[in-house]
Amino acid sequence: MSIRDHQTIMNIPEKIKLIQKASMMTQEQIARALGVTFASLNRWVNNRAVPRKEAQEKIDRLYRQITGQKEIPVQVLEAKKNLLAQKSKNCKSIVDIISGNPDIRDELILKLTYHSNRIEGSTLSEDETAAILFDNVTIPNKTLVEHLEAKNHRTAVEYMFGHAAQKNLIDGEFVMRLHGVLMNSIREDAGMWRNHGVRIVGANVPTANHVKIPALMNGLVEKISAKGKDIVSWATLVHAEFEKIHPFSDGNGRVGRLILHAMLLRRNYAPAVILQENKRQYNLYLNKAQTGDDQSLLEDFIADAVLTGFAILERK
Question: Cα–Cα distance between 232 and 211 in angstroms, integer?
Answer: 30
3-state secondary structure of 239: helix
pLDDT tens across 16-65, in order?
A: 988 887 777 788 989 998 999 999 999 999 989 989 889 898 898 888 87
From the CB of residue 34, how many other CB atoms can be counted at a distance below 10 Å? Answer: 19
Question: Cα–Cα distance between 285 and 21 in angstroms, integer?
Answer: 18
**Rg of the chain taking only CA atoms, in angstroms:** 21
From the CB of residue 279, how many other CB atoms can be counted at a distance below 10 Å? Answer: 16
Q: Which domains does the chain have, with CATH numbers?
A: 3-66 (1.10.260.40), 74-313 (1.10.3290.10)
pLDDT tens across 245-296, in order?
A: 999 999 999 999 999 999 999 999 999 999 999 998 899 899 989 987 689 9
Please, which pLDDT band fits residue 9 given cuts at 50, 70 and 90? very low
Dihedral (CA of 149, 152, 158, 159) sign: negative
Report DSSP letters for 116-144, one per residue. HHHHTT----HHHHHHHHHH-PPPTT--H
Asked if residue 10 has pLDDT above 70, the reply is: no
Please, which pLDDT band fits residue 143 given cuts at 50, 70 and 90? very high
Nearest to 118 by CA among 103, 108, 106, 128: 128
Q: What are the φ/ψ torsions at residue 55 (nearest 5 degrees)?
A: -70, -40
State the pLDDT at residue 244.
94
State the pLDDT at residue 202.
62
Asked if residue 138 has pLDDT above 60, the reply is: yes
State the pLDDT at residue 92.
93
* Encoded amino acid at 235, one letter: A
Least confident of 58-72, 85-99, 204-218: 58-72
Instruction: Name the average pLDDT for the chain.
Output: 91
Helix ranges restricted to H, 230-277: 231-245, 252-266
Asked if residue 2 has pLDDT above 60, the reply is: no
Calculate ∠ Cα 236-302-155, nearest 5°: 90
Q: Is 68 exposed, middle or buried (0-12, 13-18, 19+ CB in 10 A)?
A: middle
Residues in the chain: 316
Residues 217-226 have a mean pLDDT of 90
Please, which pLDDT band fits residue 8 given cuts at 50, 70 and 90? very low
State the pLDDT at residue 33.
87
* Encoded amino acid at 9, one letter: I
Residues 125-153 have a mean pLDDT of 98
- Cβ neighbors of 185 (< 8 A, separation 6 or more) are 148, 152
pTM of the prediction? 0.83
Question: Cα–Cα distance between 70 and 76 in angstroms, integer?
Answer: 13
- Cβ neighbors of 179 (< 8 A, separation 6 or more) are 190, 191, 192, 248, 251, 255
State the pLDDT at residue 212.
96
Question: Cα–Cα distance between 149 and 153 in angstroms, integer?
Answer: 6
191: left (phi over 0), alpha (psi -120 to 50) or beta: left
Please, which pLDDT band fits residue 7 given cuts at 50, 70 and 90? very low
Nearest to 302 by CA among 33, 72, 58: 72
Q: How far are the Cα atoms of 10, 25, 30, 45, 301 from residue 51, in angstroms, in the given order?
A: 14, 20, 14, 10, 28
